[in-house]
Amino acid sequence: MSSFIFTLGQLYIDLAKVTVGKMKRINRFAVMWKEENNALTRTFVFADFSEAFAFMTRVALIAEKLDHHPNWTNVYNNVSIRLSTHDAGNTITEKDRRLAAAIDALKN
């Protein structure tokens, strides 16, 4: 697998190192992301619209690098994300878990 190095200011993520195995070792992942209707879902709450939109911009750049794009909605300071893999029949795959882990790295 090729390595994607992603930099945003002080944020540095090596997307190739975000694996399902690592996610299984992080118990908080299971608490933050829910498996609902064959998708990973999570809602993020921010201080205001600008902070929420900035987060979405960072997620969009990572999604482009991974060539895996979320279904999401934004209402003022809330961003709700739904991840599933369309090519796999709208089920959860490693692509979804890798993107979820990268998104978590942005928020934490």
For residue 15, pLDDT over 90 is answered with: no
Q: How far apart are CA 37 and CA 90, in angstroms?
A: 9
Residue type for 79, please?
Answer: V
Express each pLDDT in 54-104 by its tens digit. Answer: 999 999 999 999 999 999 999 999 999 999 998 888 889 999 999 999 999
Q: Give SS3 for 29.
A: helix
Structure tokens at 55: 């987060």
Confidence band for 2, pLDDT divided at 50, 70 and 90: very low
Q: What's the pLDDT at 98?
A: 93
Q: What's the pLDDT at 16?
A: 54
- Look at domain 18-107 and name its CATH class: alpha beta
When mean pLDDT is compared across 21-25, 51-55, 67-71, the lowest value belongs to 21-25
| Higher-confidence position of 18 and 50 | 50
Q: Please enumerate in sequence order all residues whose Cβ is within 8 A of that of 108, keeping only pairs 6 or more positions apart, or say none.
A: none
